[in-house]
Copies of this chain bind each other. A is one copy, B any other.
Amino acid sequence: MNATIDLLNAHRSIRAFTDQPIETSDLHTLIQAGQAAATSSFIQACTVINVTDAEKRQALAQFAGNQAYVAAAPVFLVFCADMKRHQLACQMHDAPMQSGFTEQFITATTDCALFAQNVIVAAESLEMGGVYIGGLRNNIAAVSELLELPELVYPVFGMCLGYPDQNPEVKPRLPLPVVLKTDRYTDTDDQAHLAEYDEVIREYYKTRTGGQKDMSWTEQISGMLVKEARPHMLPFLKEKGYLLK
């Protein structure tokens, strides 16, 4: 189609990196590309923490469920939803800030995601690769303490970045009719599409693992969803001043 769309379509998670470091000027380029993304009502509610300290990296790798590449990647960023600077803006104008609304949680979290997606796209355009680390939320209170995050700042996810030392296949996505509807929501044909897609994913895992992993998409999803999903998140976020009302 064009080089940018080809780049987007070629995305896959990279977890193994060469020794080549990321230059500071390039890191700044990535962050500025992140800032260029849309932001809800111009709130600009994303703060990035670049974790360079080796001990902190080791701790984060462990908090994320022993993901060694969190410690090993040339760059590791933590994307934080941040309304602390909005509190400061209010103080600067003696304005009593109304915080704690679920809506604000949505806009700050979404701001981080749009920002981060631009960062990874920019990185890939410079022949780097990376992976989002949602696993930070396994031990989100410990992550928050380690990075000294104050009230109204919460770590949404991390991201490893570097130059790829692996070349994994692109993972096939859901059939288009499952994710694109016209004028109204309908899922009449979804089960048939999912059954078809299940075999695509089964093949993908088989090929990728030399036959060892034999699993469809619906098997994977249903296996995951019978378990609790980080039940500590709501109390943690409330403590941070989010999702109170």
Q: Which residues of A contact B (CB under 8 A)?
A: 1-5, 7-11, 13, 28-29, 31-33, 35-38, 40-44, 46-53, 56, 80, 84-86, 88-90, 92-93, 95-99, 101-104, 106-107, 109-110, 113-114, 116-118, 120-122, 125-126, 131-132, 134, 137, 147-150, 153, 156-157, 170-171, 173-174, 176, 178-187, 190-191, 194-195, 217-231, 233-234, 237, 243, 245
> Do B180 and A88 touch (CB < 8 A)?
no
> Do A89 and B184 touch (CB < 8 A)?
no
> Do A85 and B230 touch (CB < 8 A)?
no
Please name the residue on chain B nearest to A4 by beta carbon.
B125
> Do B218 and A93 touch (CB < 8 A)?
yes
What residues on B are CB-neighbors of A106 within 8 Å?
A: 109, 137, 156, 233
> Do B222 and A101 touch (CB < 8 A)?
no
Which of B44, B50, B182 touches A173 (beta carbons < 8 Å)? B44
Known A-B contacts A37-B117, A88-B190; the reply to A230 vs B103 at CB < 8 A is yes
> Do A132 and B184 touch (CB < 8 A)?
no
> Do A92 and B222 touch (CB < 8 A)?
yes
Known A-B contacts A38-B132, A230-B103; the reply to A153 vs B185 at CB < 8 A is yes
Kindly state the separation between the CA atoms of A41 and B157 in the bound complex, as whole angstroms.
Answer: 13
> Do B134 and A107 touch (CB < 8 A)?
yes
> Do B49 and A84 touch (CB < 8 A)?
no
Please name the residue on chain B nearest to A106 by beta carbon.
B109
> Do B44 and A174 touch (CB < 8 A)?
yes
CB proximity of A192 to chain B, nearest CB, Å = 11
Kindly state the separation between the CA atoms of A183 and B56 in the bound complex, as whole angstroms.
Answer: 8
CB proximity of A47 to chain B, nearest CB, Å = 5
Can you spell out 20 A-B residue pairs with CB atoms less than 8 angstroms apart? A5-B125, A8-B37, A8-B121, A28-B176, A35-B174, A38-B117, A41-B224, A49-B182, A86-B225, A90-B226, A93-B218, A95-B225, A97-B226, A98-B229, A103-B229, A106-B233, A110-B110, A113-B117, A147-B185, A148-B186
> Do A11 and B38 touch (CB < 8 A)?
yes
Which of B50, B95, B114, B121 touches A222 (beta carbons < 8 Å)? B95
